[in-house]
Amino acid sequence: MCKYTQYGKIMENNNNYQKYVIYSSSVVKTSAGEVSVNNYDKSIDKVCQHLRCEHNKNKIPLIITGSGISMVGGEKQKSVPSIHEMMNKLLNLIDDICNDTKSDILTNMIKEYKDASNPENSMGRDNTDRVTEAQAKLLTYIQNAYLSNKKIFCAESDCDCLKKVWEDYIKWLICGGDPYPGLRKIKATDTHKAIAKLYKAMDAVSITTNFDNLLKDAFNDTDIFFPLLDTDDFNRYFLNGAELNADSQDTQMIEIQSRGDVFWTKCSGDKNRACQNKNHRCYIPQRNVKHPDDLLKCDRCGSTTEIYFAFPGTKEKDHEMSTVMGGVWKFLAFRISAVIVVGSSMDYDPVLLKFLQELLNRRSIPLIYISRYHELPDHTEEVKQKQATKIFFSKTTPDNWYWARCKRIDEVLTDISTKYNYLSSNPASKIDNWDKVRDKFIETAASIMGNKSDTEILNIIRLQLNNEISEVIYSIINQKPLTNVKFYSQLGLETYWLRKTDENNVTNHNRYKHSINVMIIASAVYLSARKNLSTREELLFVQTAALLHDIGHLPFSHLIEEIFMEFGWIPDGESTPFDHEYYTRIKIDNLFSPSTNSSNSYAELFNILKLSGYNKEDITNLINGEYGVGYLDAIINGPIDCDKIEYIFSDGCFVGMNHESLFKEFLTEYCSELGTNDNCFLKISGKSYKNALKLIGLRSQMYHDVYLRPGLRYLESCCKLIIRIFIAYKCTKIDFSGVNNENHNINLSNTKISFILRWIEEIEDMNSSKKIDSKTSPFELPLIDEMCKYLEMEWNGIISLDLCNAIAFCKNMIECKRTNASSFPISDIEQKYIHQIKIGASNLKEDALNKLIKTVYLRFPGIILIDYVKVKKPFSFSKSGKKQRRMDGTNESIESILVSQDNAKNWNCFGDATDSIINQLNLPRDSYLNLYKITKDHYRYMLAEDFVIDQLRQYNIIEGV
Amino acid sequence: MNQIGIYAKCFRSSLDDFISTGEYRALPIVVCTVNDKRPEGRYIKSPFIIFSSGMKRNHVENIFKIHGESTQLLSDYGKSYQILTQIVNKNMDKVIADLISSIIVEKIKGFQSNNKDEDNYFFISDLGSNKLIGRLGYLYLNQERNTISFVIYKGNNLITNILSKEFNSLEFDINYFKLVQDMKNNQSEIIPENPMESMTQAVYFQISGSQRNNIILRMDLFSQGITKNNIRKKVDDINAIVAKTSNLSEPFQDSSTSEMVRLPKVLFSSMKAMDNYYSTIAKDLLAGKKT
């Protein structure tokens, strides 16, 4: 037997494009050229080190298996037949049984299939698609004849004989015929056994396209191994995973059968109409069947059954396969550390292929593709380009995708598990007395809440959490990208407008303080969820992500992002407009890169990564809520994450809604009944669930009373007007001639974005050197001042007079002067300058409204602005938690939280529970359209308002004359 | 009074260049002529490299808006070239709009610092793209002294959107003929009638052409936030400009339509200068050579 240390070889072509891990010293013929490179060992090492490292982070490998694993090892005659062998058998049966009665349709279909599969007709080209299509057409016809499916035409003369063909065929498949022994007698191959070893070594999960269930045979009787066949199975398995603690050893292993629908019987109930199997799918092969005829009978009541066997290529099968893949996305996909494809060409599995493409496009995880090569009579080996290899191993193959070709695929798998077991695993450092540490974090979070300066909160942390927070966290706290968010008010200019008095705590309500408190709350929630499984490394990872989650924010909260979005500015290499998530990724990348982080702090940051075992991509993924380990995503970016807990309470305290006193009680109770299950989901039950609902209710209230208050939206629109004109003019100063355009984008968005961000950084630097006084006003106000000054100084006389007046008007409004200490100017604005129109949820036509907003903005310069406020959902999901269309036909959102239903034993996905939670909270359902007057010219405003109302009627957004 | 002619064009790699270099490049150039001055070109010194062999998979997919196996379509040079050309045609408007709007603002600022009382007339070749009109719209330029008009002379573009919606092609020909017949003072009515319906207002001008025929030019006036009276005034001013043959080029035959055309002189100068920019700069840059 070969050892991976002795015989490995990698084949690369001259252009260093294709990588073939070759498991013998034989030469492989490729169209691209032949170069042998002996780095098989290195490749296996890299893969195993990656798998080991990711396993420490709760990530698991996914193995995709195809019919190849049932056909290697052992004696050939004891293998599961290939699709070609199965087709040949079927054609022989048709010849025997229907020879004289075949309709022209059936004859033509058979001819079509034979022509397509005859290599002489392919003229040397790949005709897999043609074969698959002809095959699917023929099989669907036979299947429908058997099931008497009236929806699809089947010639009457074919029906009876094809029924007999189908029954005989199924009997042959399961019970065999010379020399084929039948599925009942086939045993697990060496490859199955090698896969079973991988399962045990690294908690692997597999998706299979095989219907033979042979992998189960490779496990011991004591192992718990079972297939997941459909959505119900997924829910049962993932929702009800056991509660984890340090003592439990979970050994349940699953195989996802992507063709779970492929092979089943349905009892007709003619012998027992109350049979439990009646009209239910029962999976075969039934290995304990004694006589082939029993296959066609229900094993409970003996009634006749219908046997369904969906072949590759049919639309029906692909659709059902998408449903299964939907379950994979929902519960598993982002937790995958690497994909190992074994014995699957994917020629007949387009859905699986697209799933894999989508997954690999989203995540830069390794792909290990293992396939056999065929020895030709001249003792050279033939490389057949299959679908998967054509797609994945081309000129653009990433460095961490490997194609292993070998004579025995089980040996590559054995090498992986051997090497994997050989690599040492650094034991994670457990946190002793997690509950006492958790209580300290809760205490500190409560102490920080309220009006305290940055220095005060840092002193509190030093005092109360001296032993609980490592020094590396302090070094992140002092990093420039984080300290810079001190300038940004937590609520943008709302912080200034909502201050209780003029001398109030404006500068204390900033994103820096918010980030630090999110870190402390996240620590408490993490410890509560993981209890005695908590580790120092994972806690450090959570804390790092929590601290950095807002560093991509720009001043004015989301306003600038909205303007970038209106302008359609898409950064290089991205497919969506600029947003803070993108900028966070860039900033984290710079922070942790020695080449761009010019400060001396890189060594410290590098230390953080080294200590935690995580990398910067992990941090970014976690901040985006798509790291893949459910409880971590739920803590950092989920519907009830620590960011929301912090801002709802701290904003509430700031605007005087008196949540400060409730906070400690809330956090203590919320943390009391949290947990995680063996599939790494955050479980929320009892008091924790009640408090989660309380938080959702408070959030809705904050949206209604604060964030979406018409007066504040008005002021924000005034800000946007100024910022928008400023950006438009500022960008005309860019010297486009020197722009480097090698990034393949056909626009100048990146140049414009960088130009504006650079300007903001300059103002930040001015601010930090105290050239701008921001003691009593947030940084955003001087920024608006700077913008207005720039427009006045540089562009006076060039901007239209109406707009200049509107800018002055808006600036005056933004400054929001109080007439006396108790006055609240926003109420005045709401009375004098806003016309609010209620819109029923069904009449809200967003496309029409967005078009109208733009039309009004461009056609009535400086007179009117419009804005609409949608019913705010009580909680928001990260991008991964939202439904999105994928290439494989799925659109499931990705889950991270489970909530208890009636009692703690029944669980539901948080996403699926959305409707019932909304009903429970009885939240408002109307949307509003706000018309804002930004001129003193009442006559022109009325003309504009008439135009808007007329348009709203035309779009049927409002009714009546 | 200042007259400014702006002519923009996007040059692309030829199929031969694409095959030999493995790169598809695109270079937009904008040429601007102010009064009698020498035309000046504005272009980006490094052309857009839309595609290069060996580029990263996610870039390919981003550009072509495709995934995975569809990238195989691109293994055929001819097919790739065709798709890339379509992508460039669709997207280059944005870049040209950025270049033109920054030129307009720069010129207005320059004129303003020299003499505040002068009126500026910008003649930009062809239909204003939505992108350019949008960018100008977000600038809210003072229109009192500045008139921006898009000059249309190619047969297919002479018909406005409003007219094409109202009539079929035969009816339009009849109406167009009537429109030309009914012109008073060599200018048509303003289309559309209500300035709120569009950010630009179209007017047809009849200008003296060769001995046999007069020439029809369509000009779309950028009319953001101005009243009908102000638009009327701008139309009269432009009519006065095109009535003077000294402000116009000599009549010439348009190569694509074989129609006789006569343009504002500043625009014609920019157009002629573009050929020179192609031969001296664009050709080399597109072939991957440094200039």
Average pLDDT of span A733-754: 80
Residue B144 CB partners (closer than 8 Å, separation 6+): A801
**Exposure of A946 by Cβ count < 10 A (0-12 exposed, 13-18 middle, 19+ buried)?**
exposed
B78 touches chain A (CB under 8 A): no
A382-389 LR contacts (CB < 8 Å, sep 24+):
A382/A29, A383/A20, A383/A28, A383/A29, A383/A30, A385/A31, A385/A126, A386/A345, A386/A346, A386/A347, A387/A128, A387/A345, A387/A346, A387/A347, A387/A353, A387/B69, A388/A341, A388/A344, A388/A345, A388/A346, A388/A353, A388/A356, A389/A345
B30 touches chain A (CB under 8 A): no
pLDDT for the residue numbered A647: 93
| Residue in chain B lying closest to A944 (CA) | B196
Contacts of A725 in chain B (CB under 8 A): 138-140
| Four-point Cα dihedral A565, A567, A568, A569, nearest 10 | -90
Average pLDDT of span A212-241: 83
B71/A394 touch (CB, cutoff 8 Å), yes or no = yes
Q: Rounded mean pLDDT of chain B?
A: 81
pLDDT for the residue numbered A644: 94
d(CA B169, CA B167): 6
B224/A741 touch (CB, cutoff 8 Å), yes or no = no
A946 touches chain B (CB under 8 A): no
Beta-bridged to residue A65, according to DSSP, are A208, A342
Say which residue, A771 or A510, is predicted with more confidence: A510
Percentage of residues in chain A having pLDDT higher than 70: 82
Average pLDDT of span A742-761: 83
B95/A575 touch (CB, cutoff 8 Å), yes or no = no
Confidence category of residue A48, pLDDT binned at 50, 70, 90: very high
pLDDT for the residue numbered A64: 95
Which range among A13-17, A86-90, A370-374, B129-133 shows the weakest confidence by mean pLDDT? A13-17
Q: Which of residues 398-437 of A touch B (CB under 8 A)?
A: 398
pLDDT for the residue numbered B268: 93
Average pLDDT of span A273-294: 71
| Four-point Cα dihedral B107, B112, B113, B115, nearest 10 | 120
Residue B117 has pLDDT above 80, yes or no: no
Confidence category of residue A666, pLDDT binned at 50, 70, 90: very high
Residue A467 CB partners (closer than 8 Å, separation 6+): none
Contacts of B291 in chain A (CB under 8 A): none
B59 touches chain A (CB under 8 A): yes
Q: Are strands A367-372 and A401-406 parallel, antiparallel or unpaired?
A: parallel
Can you read off the two tokens belonging to residue A185? 């007698």
B271-279 LR contacts (CB < 8 Å, sep 24+):
B271/B5, B271/B7, B271/B31, B271/B125, B272/B39, B273/B7, B273/B31, B273/B33, B273/B39, B273/B41, B274/B7, B274/B9, B274/B29, B274/B31, B274/B41, B277/B29, B277/B31, B277/B41, B277/B43, B278/B11, B278/B29
Confidence category of residue B157, pLDDT binned at 50, 70, 90: low
d(CA A131, CA A892): 32
Say which residue, A167 or A381, is predicted with more confidence: A167
Tens-place pLDDT, residues A676-685: 988 899 999 9
Q: Which of residues 451-470 of A touch B (CB under 8 A)?
A: none
| Residue in chain A lying closest to B88 (CA) | A746
Confidence category of residue A20, pLDDT binned at 50, 70, 90: very low
CA distance A736 to chain B (A): 6
Residue B166 has pLDDT above 90, yes or no: no
Amino acid identity at B24:
Y
Instruction: Please answer whether residues A588 and A548 qualify as being in contact, where contact means their C-beta atoms are separated by less than 8 angstroms.
Output: yes
Q: Phi, psi (5° rounding) for residue A692?
A: -65, -40
Contacts of B55 in chain A (CB under 8 A): 396, 744
* Peptide bond preceding A924 in cis form (omega within 30 of 0): no
CA distance B25 to chain A (A): 9
CA atoms within 13 A on the CB side of B83: 19
| Residue in chain A lying closest to B137 (CA) | A858
3-state secondary structure of A432: coil
Average pLDDT of span A711-739: 90
| Residue in chain B lying closest to A16 (CA) | B54
* Burial readout B110-147 (b: 16 or more C-beta within 10 A, e: otherwise): ebbeeeeeeebbbbbbebbbebbbbbbbbbbbbbebbb
Confidence category of residue A307, pLDDT binned at 50, 70, 90: confident
Query: Cα angle vertex B230, ends B224, B236, to 5°?
Result: 115
pLDDT for the residue numbered A239: 86
B92/A748 touch (CB, cutoff 8 Å), yes or no = no
Between A and B, how many residue pairs show a Cβ–Cβ distance under 8 A? 143
For A614-691, strand residue ranges (E) read 674-676, 682-684
Residue A255 has pLDDT above 80, yes or no: yes
Confidence category of residue A934, pLDDT binned at 50, 70, 90: very high
CA distance A572 to chain B (A): 9
A832 touches chain B (CB under 8 A): no
Confidence category of residue A504, pLDDT binned at 50, 70, 90: low
A947 touches chain B (CB under 8 A): yes
Average pLDDT of span B18-26: 84
Can you read off the two tokens belonging to residue A523? 């620590």
| Residue in chain A lying closest to B131 (CA) | A567
- Residue B120's closest CA among B249, B272, B274, B237? B237
CA distance A740 to chain B (A): 6
d(CA B282, CA B45): 9
A718 alpha-carbon distance from chain centroid: 36
Confidence category of residue A922, pLDDT binned at 50, 70, 90: confident
B291 touches chain A (CB under 8 A): no
Average pLDDT of span A459-469: 87
CA distance A935 to chain B (A): 14
Confidence category of residue A620, pLDDT binned at 50, 70, 90: very high
**Exposure of A547 by Cβ count < 10 A (0-12 exposed, 13-18 middle, 19+ buried)?**
buried
Contacts of A743 in chain B (CB under 8 A): 59
CA atoms within 13 A on the CB side of A493: 26
Beta-bridged to residue A60, according to DSSP, are A336
| Residue in chain B lying closest to A355 (CA) | B68
Residue A112 has pLDDT above 80, yes or no: yes
B55: nearest CB among A736, A744, A795 = A744
Can you read off the two tokens belonging to residue A234? 């997924």
Q: Which of residues 862-921 of A touch B (CB under 8 A)?
A: 862, 887
B143/A800 touch (CB, cutoff 8 Å), yes or no = yes
Taking residue A37's Cβ as centre, other Cβ atoms within 10 Å add up to 17
pLDDT for the residue numbered A724: 93
Can you read off the two tokens belonging to residue A396? 């653009």
Amino acid identity at A915:
D
Strands of A263-267's sheet, edge to edge? A281-283, A263-267, A305-309
CA distance B152 to chain A (A): 24
A365 alpha-carbon distance from chain centroid: 14
Confidence category of residue A382, pLDDT binned at 50, 70, 90: low
Give the largest CA-CA distance in chain A: 102
Residue A403 has pLDDT above 90, yes or no: no
Contacts of A747 in chain B (CB under 8 A): 91, 94-95
B94 touches chain A (CB under 8 A): yes
B81 touches chain A (CB under 8 A): no
Q: Which of residues 741-770 of A touch B (CB under 8 A)?
A: 741-748, 752
A99 alpha-carbon distance from chain centroid: 54
Instruction: Please answer whether residues A171 and A305 qualify as being in contact, where contact means their C-beta atoms are separated by less than 8 angstroms.
Output: no
Confidence category of residue A833, pLDDT binned at 50, 70, 90: very high
Pick from A717-721, A923-927, B248-252 the range whose average pLDDT is largest: A717-721
Q: Rounded mean pLDDT of chain A?
A: 81
A803: nearest CB among B55, B63, B140 = B140
Can you read off the two tokens belonging to residue A52? 């080991």
CA distance A171 to chain B (A): 38
Residue A804 has pLDDT above 80, yes or no: yes
Residue A847 has pLDDT above 50, yes or no: yes
Can you read off the two tokens belonging to residue A823? 């006055």
**Cα dist from A4 to A9, A356, A415, A542, whole Å:** 9, 27, 6, 38
Contacts of B102 in chain A (CB under 8 A): 731-734, 736
Residue A4 has pLDDT above 60, yes or no: no
Average pLDDT of span A822-839: 82
pLDDT for the residue numbered B116: 64
pLDDT for the residue numbered A371: 82
Contacts of B94 in chain A (CB under 8 A): 746-748
Tens-place pLDDT, residues A64-90: 998 888 875 444 446 778 778 888 888
A724/B138 touch (CB, cutoff 8 Å), yes or no = yes
B95/A748 touch (CB, cutoff 8 Å), yes or no = yes
A725/B139 touch (CB, cutoff 8 Å), yes or no = yes
Instruction: Please answer whether residues B205 and B137 qualify as being in contact, where contact means their C-beta atoms are separated by less than 8 angstroms.
Output: no
Name which of A741, A756, A805 to mutate to probe chain B: the one with the most chain B Cβ atoms within 10 A of its Cβ: A741
Beta-bridged to residue B270, according to DSSP, are none
**Exposure of A823 by Cβ count < 10 A (0-12 exposed, 13-18 middle, 19+ buried)?**
exposed
A805 touches chain B (CB under 8 A): no
Q: Which of residues 168-187 of B touch A (CB under 8 A)?
A: none
A734 touches chain B (CB under 8 A): yes
pLDDT for the residue numbered A861: 84
Contacts of A357 in chain B (CB under 8 A): 67-69
For B223-259, strand residue ranges (E) read 252-253
Confidence category of residue A185, pLDDT binned at 50, 70, 90: confident
pLDDT for the residue numbered A390: 74
Residue A889 has pLDDT above 60, yes or no: yes
| Residue in chain A lying closest to B146 (CA) | A798
Say which residue, A425 or A455, is predicted with more confidence: A455
Contacts of B50 in chain A (CB under 8 A): 744, 746
Taking residue A950's Cβ as centre, other Cβ atoms within 10 Å add up to 10
**Cα dist from A620 to A150, A336, A617, whole Å:** 54, 16, 5
Say which residue, A902 or A629, is predicted with more confidence: A629
Confidence category of residue A342, pLDDT binned at 50, 70, 90: very high
Q: Which of residues 255-274 of A touch B (CB under 8 A)?
A: none
* Per-residue DSSP letter, A258: T
Contacts of A858 in chain B (CB under 8 A): 134, 137-138, 199, 224
pLDDT for the residue numbered A566: 87
Residue A374 has pLDDT above 70, yes or no: no
pLDDT for the residue numbered A45: 86
